[in-house]
Amino acid sequence: MYIIGNNIKKIFLGIMLLSIVLAAAQTNDGRRYTSQSVLATGKWIKISVDHSGIYSLSYEDIKAMGIEPQNVRIYGYGGGLLSEDFSTPYIDDLPEVPIDMQKGADGIFNEGDHILFYAQANIIWRYNSEKGTFSHIRNHYSDLGYYFVTSKSGSAKQIPTMPEESGTVVSTITSFNDYLLQESEIKNEAQGGRVFYGEKFSRQTPSHSFNIYIPNIENVEAKMFVDMANKTIYKNNIEVNINGVKIKTIPLKKRPDNNYQVLEPTNDTVTFVPNSTNTFNITLTSTNPSLEAYLDYFEINFKRELSMTGNELYFRSVDYIGRNQLSKFVLSGVDADTEIWDITDRNNIEKVNTTLSGRQLSFVANTNELRQFVAISTRKTFPKPNIVGVVDNQNLHSLPEADMIIVSHSDFLGEAYRLAEYHRAKEGISVNVADAEAIYNEFSSGTPDATAYRRFVKMFYDRSQTQGTTPPKWLLLLGDGIYDNRGIISGSDEYRKLLTYQAYNSVNKIHAYTSDDYFGYLDDNDIAMSPSASLDIGIGRLPVYTVQQAKAAIDKTIAYIDNKLHGEWKNRMLFIAD
């Protein structure tokens, strides 16, 4: 009896521990959301950037926006693709961006002065520790990154100088790991999925050449990752020529002979030692030009001398990751105005303590983990962001809990509010209506991203879990959508009212699907679009792309609920069987 009782205790404790683990894995913490967006008050100007890097706004630029230059602030986190994994860290609303005020000799920010800040566009790079290489992630919803400019009293978030590292320096770093990307977004053969292919290889264009200027390339092993697709049911080959030398022949897999597979992808790695110090002249040639193929992209990981070129130089080193040691970086070719910023955490950028000796700038850093740096010639000229326009005050974060959420394109907001008011009056349903653009502003830094819709709905779901209230039951998307979320294909703008979730597959018409189910996976531990996850809300879409269509759809919805049309149609049924 004692043994049995002890086992029962163990089983009971095991169940309790499992429950605690499951609860921890599915936190859905509603307290992570602010109750008031920063956009709720003040004047805001939306800006955009087309590449990641250092940007400048002059005193005069800021004043022309109607913003007080002395109290300028920048908010946002740019255009990187939002994580579809909700167990990863999440940035709520808009964080303040660190800025560097270049005030001049008088120490006052006035005419002739400017601010510098780092901005993230739509491509981010991730380091794979197993491969020791970097790969890119493109935001397939937007080609730009967005930020917001305002003014507030008090001190703006300046870029501070980090404390100087102390200890014994083990290694000296005079070269760094770099990477480049060649990717053209031209055509989606499956007319579905998130991948657009680029250069076409055919009888008319059997080869494509890419001449890329990169100074100070080191003659050490480099890796080129090539992603291509074969359109034919026959095998084909692509010859890779770099700087006049044939490096490799890539065999392309043949496409299966069926009506659904439109392309067959091939991924290959080309390893080579650069024979030039400042260029990659790359030619890709089809050995059978009568067979069509496409280039998706190629990336090259390589090493460069740590020598200043241009107005800004981005660098990092993976050589001593995991060794928990101090390393000394030595950057040559600098001037007296060169600064080093640590941009590893873009929301908390810091200046690095440096030592200048002649034209060499050195600093010490712990290289146990990957660190990202940028060297800046602060007196040089930097690009200005594009001014999008004034943003009206908004505060979606303050909306109350609701049974139904309507996400609408701005063209159809009138019809969305009409339907919402009908549900409130007729059925006692609480409804929140939100403009898709406003959702982007608060939930994806102003950058179009379908995950922003999901994050918006999840805010209400999480709050209900924390407060013990009823979660939202229905999500209505009011607006048509298309696989081309960025308007790459001519003529797609008419139908591109709301974003659509697209599968990763763009080579098979069955698997290159779109689905609004994606917006209904709201638990932290849900793996969206996987069999293991379950929907947490009912989802529907009215695929309208004109105001007339929206009005007709809402009229029909209301008429169906009112149920005033009685007739023989109610006794007719249609069965479809397989």
Q: Does pLDDT of 6 surpass 70? A: no
pLDDT at 257: 95
Question: pTM, whole model, 2 decimals?
Answer: 0.93
Confidence of residue 10 (pLDDT cuts 50, 70, 90): very low
Confidence of residue 152 (pLDDT cuts 50, 70, 90): confident
Separation of alpha carbons 475 and 473, rounded Å: 7
- Neighbouring CB atoms inside 10 A of 266's CB total 19
Q: Kindly state the greatest CA–CA separation across the chain.
A: 93
Q: Does pLDDT of 22 surpass 50? A: no
Query: Which residues sit opposite 156 in a β-bridge?
Result: none
Least confident of 87-96, 103-112, 164-173, 388-397: 103-112
State mean pLDDT over 119-131: 97
305 neighbors 220 (Cβ within 8 angstroms)? no
| DSSP label at residue 65 | T
Q: What are the pLDDT digits (tens) for 159-177?
A: 999 999 999 999 999 999 9
- Neighbouring CB atoms inside 10 A of 402's CB total 21
Confidence of residue 572 (pLDDT cuts 50, 70, 90): confident
- H-helix or E-strand spanning residue 548: helix 547-562
State mean pLDDT over 369-373: 98
pLDDT at 4: 37
Q: Does pLDDT of 381 surpass 60? A: yes
pLDDT at 536: 97
**Three-class secondary structure of residue 244 per DSSP:** coil
Q: What are the pLDDT digits (tens) for 31-54?
A: 999 999 999 999 999 999 999 999
Separation of alpha carbons 437 and 212, rounded Å: 37
Which has more confidence, 19 or 68? 68
pLDDT at 25: 45
Confidence of residue 567 (pLDDT cuts 50, 70, 90): confident
State mean pLDDT over 313-340: 97
Q: What are the pLDDT digits (tens) for 470-527?
A: 999 999 999 999 999 999 999 889 999 999 999 999 999 999 999 999 999 999 999 9
pLDDT at 142: 98
Q: What are the pLDDT digits (tens) for 305-325?
A: 999 999 999 999 999 999 999
When the pLDDT of each residue in the chain is averaged and rounded to a whole number, the result is 94
Q: Which residue has the tokens 């043994």?
A: 3
Structure tokens at 152: 């507030």
28 neighbors 466 (Cβ within 8 angstroms)? yes
- Which amino acid belongs to residue 313? L
Q: Report residue 271 CA to chain centroid gap.
A: 29
Give the count of alpha carbons within 13 A of 4, CB side only. Answer: 1
Structure tokens at 146: 């967005």
Q: Does pLDDT of 421 surpass 70? A: yes
Which has more confidence, 578 or 391? 391
Separation of alpha carbons 476 and 494, rounded Å: 20
Separation of alpha carbons 114 and 111, rounded Å: 8
Separation of alpha carbons 441 and 19, rounded Å: 37
Q: What are the pLDDT digits (tens) for 271-313?
A: 999 988 899 999 999 999 899 999 999 999 999 999 999 999 9
Q: Does pLDDT of 448 surpass 50? A: yes
Separation of alpha carbons 521 and 512, rounded Å: 20
